[in-house]
Structure 1
């Protein structure tokens, strides 16, 4: 029976748990250790002696007065939620309610590991899948020219079924505008298409039922080279797009002026991933197959003509970047089978040192990562921390910080070539969960911004969601055959 404890609002706790479940998780010790033990061996702790460790704790630990006032509370173990409720009722913190850190302390312990429940099943590979900023919508792009937008609050009903225009190879990336009115999609073409997703029509067939406007990024290259777009993102204010391309460049498109505003010859190889660093839009992060992450400051780009800084540490190409949103920290996924955490205050003005040519031949598109390469370290690694355990092969696997609202960005999570989703503790580096269901690479996954729910999508075409738990119940493990019967019925 799923019971909401008396006096707790959904805004304060999200998915509240029954008293029995809370006591079971917290009276036996650390939920983190339990998750690690139940999902495989954990990595040795990082024990970060760093500012980000303190910032993360401030975002995800109970109020100091509340934890001190609770009899028997241990600083190194999660404080019992039952005791936190009692402390709140007695107003130990002097606030009369849970703080955002109190809420994160509760919610971050309930990882979305139960499931999966089927969202959709498609006959082609899923390449991208993300929640909207408020979690009300979820969109997924497939190799078979389709993009689906699901209404999460209406039982995952398909709100928009989009058939892409002039698709080359696959949909490489999609991005939803902050106001959730427009969606852009890219493929191995210099044309990025934008559509109105707020229209009433469910079926959106390119230039037949709805207009899919083309934004041409090739103007700056004089149209002399047909390149592809690997990554495209809206700015926080929705006025600009930033894109990374196969011609080693970064493009910025001004949507209000409807023209390309900036092209940066950024790297020595494909720019696989780009994003804005924060709400200001001044800083852009980029990652490339030249093994480097770069930081670009648009305020001084014209004068300097080069990157504001370079972050070295990966031994192979960068597949994805995610910003913490504070203009300071970011993470990158690399083909060297590692996620790295960066502080841009540690960046250098140029590549700090040369790396010796690797003593092996390897192509991530069809070969396994060489065992002898796993022990290699970059001699000038500038990263703050490294997280390993997942695999990055065949495709540009993505990684993210967990949501600020419900976890205080306490975790890092990533898809993996081995068909799983991995969740790491940001501070300790421990592998706290491994979600197993798919039988093909998981290229993308997304954690709901407010609730303990995660959706993963795979090259097999399955899009599934994981929760803690749905309606207080854990689903019966389902075979592949059973999932397909459920889908078609």
Structure 2
């Protein structure tokens, strides 16, 4: 048996050889993926010292011998939902997810086509609501590329009113687009800011940013750890914040393309010190997630250090951090505010597999108000419905879970639970293949619904509720490492799967009479990192990684009935109302034959 010293020398020697090979390959534009054998403590917690390496490894594919990527779909391990789940039906019947009448029509197994909806309105069967149209017209096209980037896009979201779309990418670039203007038939190559370019892997500048969207502003972010991890727009669309695995968040104005000022928001413990540059950060922790409050006056941030997950609140008016909580036993990958009415309830989701709820009015002893228990692996994203009651989370256990905060485990119940690990021992979600799970859920699972079929591997894939105004938030959707966008009804059934690899090229003109070209499948694989659903139109935007080469794209997915004609829900309602009024005039039906 080898001695410990010999083992350590061998480990160091192997690591050195691996590092040399990696550097040689990277110098020629190639890469390798080295599987880790890190022990998996509760929730697969990853030390903060590995954070930057984790994101670095996230951006390389894991190849088997022969050069083909490992299978990434995890759906084969779970049963396909055929019948609506009772718990989901109860949600739709509750009246908290839009019209109950519209929800109940789902269970009849028949979908009312749009012509029938309009005809019913003509016959006086009631006014057409935006929700009725929105539920009838879900985004269903494979998409058309509207943005190309030379680095991986980590987030792409509409603003709250969907008048803007914004992205952040691994080359520390942030882009803001005006989505009140339809995509152009001409491909634009907006100029980059004057700051020195930052590249880790080299590449052609001309391939960095091409778009058919109207660019409002492009900014070079302050350099931090590996990538910009998160970005958010203020409720009034005037400011943007972003994080990058340091203890500093930066805030910039959004509308003036010449204003390059970026205000540092320092979350570290050293008060009164001069703000450091991002690459000279104090190294206490790295921030992974950040969100504006509903009034735009505060920022919540989730971070991690060598031992714990940290949750913060920063007061923008006072210009200081006002709350720090040692919240988890692993990095906080995602955080948010529970509702849009107040800033009292915070939500944090961590690599320790738990979602925790924090009420700022009762933070005695630094304990959460409750814990949402159910995932068996780390959590990649948490998103609120916005009513202070429901949230969803994406987990590395390949489940998207829906939670009712009224059913959370109390802090006392959580502390009494055994600290056991119910996930897959020594499994790393970055390796590119999911293994048969030991448990489908934590024994104390308190989630209301679990949605399956997508694949959560390699990166922190995001999930969201559908828009309240047009769908009643009665759908949930997620990106996926299988290259698809998955949309579920709250009853658990899959209602739409869009294949991002089939998106039409950016050069395709949607207004042309010519048939679209046959999409060429990307055999190296596509990963959909983030998806965003327009608040008032049947339109989605997806941000996807293109493969082992560090490049990505944004695609626009529409309901096919609107996309070809360029009509919005507002157009349909106005057109239908106008035609209905004309038909109601005396003699309007004189020329209409009887049926």
Class of the TM-score when normalised by the shorter of the 2 chains: 0.7 to 0.9
Write the distance in 1 (CA, Å) between the matches of 2:500 and 2:422: 36
Contact 2:312 2:324 in 1 (8 A): yes
Match in the other structure for 2:329:
268
Say whether residues 1:467 and 2:590 are aligned partners. Answer: no
SS at match of 2:450: strand
Contact 1:230 1:245 in 2 (8 A): yes
Contact 2:338 2:387 in 1 (8 A): yes
SS at match of 1:59: coil
Correspondences of 1:422-441 after superposition (within 5 Å):
422-437=486-501, 439-441=525-527
Match in the other structure for 1:487:
none
Contact 2:461 2:479 in 1 (8 A): yes
Write the distance in 1 (CA, Å) between the matches of 2:533 and 2:85: 25
Question: CA, structure 1 residues 362+61, in 2 after alignment: closer, same or farther (shift >3 Å)?
Answer: same
Match in the other structure for 1:217:
267
Q: How many residues align?
A: 413
Say whether residues 1:135 and 2:200 are aligned partners. Answer: no
Contact 2:91 2:97 in 1 (8 A): no
Write the distance in 2 (CA, Å) between the matches of 1:44 and 1:62: 22
Match in the other structure for 1:70:
none
Question: CA, structure 1 residues 331+216, in 2 after alignment: closer, same or farther (shift >3 Å)?
Answer: same
Match in the other structure for 1:281:
343
Contact 1:114 1:474 in 2 (8 A): no
Correspondences of 1:332-347 after superposition (within 5 Å):
332-347=393-408
Write the distance in 1 (CA, Å) between the matches of 2:476 and 2:528: 15
Correspondences of 1:364-443 after superposition (within 5 Å):
364-373=429-438, 376-437=440-501, 439-443=525-529
Match in the other structure for 2:146:
119
Match in the other structure for 1:243:
301
Cα distance, 1:166 vs structure 2? 2.2
Cα distance, 1:364 vs structure 2? 1.2
Match in the other structure for 1:43:
81
Which stretches in structure 2 are left out of the alignment for 5+ residues? 1-78, 184-212, 274-280, 502-521, 547-551, 567-595
Contact 2:424 2:437 in 1 (8 A): no
Question: CA, structure 1 residues 243+57, in 2 after alignment: closer, same or farther (shift >3 Å)?
Answer: closer
Write the distance in 2 (CA, Å) between the matches of 1:215 and 1:295: 24
Q: Deviations over 1:236-291 (max 9, x none)?
A: 11010000001311010001111111111111110111000002111111100111
Write the distance in 2 (CA, Å) between the matches of 1:270 and 1:365: 16
Say whether residues 1:176 and 2:237 are aligned partners. Answer: no
Write the distance in 2 (CA, Å) between the matches of 1:230 and 1:74: 40
Contact 2:332 2:349 in 1 (8 A): yes
Cα distance, 1:63 vs structure 2? 7.4
Say whether residues 1:163 and 2:220 are aligned partners. Answer: yes
Match in the other structure for 2:251:
194
Cα distance, 1:408 vs structure 2? 1.4
Contact 2:248 2:266 in 1 (8 A): yes
Write the distance in 2 (CA, Å) between the matches of 1:161 and 1:200: 7
Contact 2:500 2:528 in 1 (8 A): no
Structure number with greater Rg is 2
TM-score, scaled to structure 1: 0.78
